[in-house]
Amino acid sequence: MALILSIETSTAVCSVALHDSGKLMVLNEIHIEQAHATKLGLLIDQIRSSFGKDFVNLKAVAVSSGPGSYTGLRIGTSVAKGLCMALDIPLISVETLDVLAYQVNELSVFQAAKCPMIDARRMEVYCKVFSPANEVVLPVEAKVIDENSFNDLLINSKVIFFGNGASKCKTVLKNSNAIFLDGLYPSAREVGVLAFEKFRLNRWEDLVHFEPFYLKEFMIKASAQHT
């Protein structure tokens, strides 16, 4: 038995899951903007209650490492680290865009390249491109989308775009080879599956020094000065 508690807070959705050797046992999530700070602990307590006992048998805690919401990632990582320290168990991280890509792999519908996208405000997204064989074609980047984006890929093959950053690209990427899937978001459900593969290989993080993968520095706007 390898019980892993997974946390996903990279977008507006806050989710927690418990897996046993990669098999989902319990999933708890909430779709409320900016609720991570107040709801994450509650979701974890509900998972613990539904499981029927304390987390003494947990083997690891997994967290979505980003990119994504700066605040959400900070909260998720802080809680995950706290649990690992309290229980003296390892921390596992899973890249957010890999979590999204895994969902499309599970659909097994398209033989096409895959481009998960996380909203990064305005017309910018965090994205990554995988081949139909799940090899990385383009590594993670913060990309401003315009009508010429991904032309080198779309000219020869179909590309599936999905995630909360993809919907705003529909009106810009007007190419018959561009396929858009709606309703997909990062979830602890898939974090736990991918985390188990890392657990089997003892691929866990340095608990003290681990930080989320922000990709961009957090920008704080100065408030307007009134004279």
pLDDT tens digits for range 28-60: 999 998 889 999 999 999 998 887 667 889 999
* The residue to which tokens 């229980």 are assigned: 87
Q: How far is CA 157 from the centre of its chain?
A: 26
pLDDT in the model for residue 110: 67
Rounded CA Rg of the chain: 18
Check if the beta carbon of residue 165 is closer than 8 Å to that of residue 192: no
Inter-CA distances, 23 with 27, 102, 201, Å: 11, 15, 17
Q: Choose among 13, 26, 70: nearest CA to 184.
A: 13
Domains of the chain in sequence order: 3-95+186-200 (3.30.420.40), 97-181 (3.30.420.40)
Cis, bond preceding 212 (omega within 30 deg of 0): no
CA dist., res. 59 & res. 87, Å (int): 9
pLDDT score for 218 = 47
Tokens of 224: 């307007």
Q: Are 114 and 160 in contact (CB under 8 A)?
A: yes
**Alpha-carbon distances of 52 from 1, 18, 22, 24, 79, rounded to whole Å:** 16, 12, 19, 16, 21
* Residues in the chain where the model's pLDDT stays below 70: 52-53, 108-110, 217-227
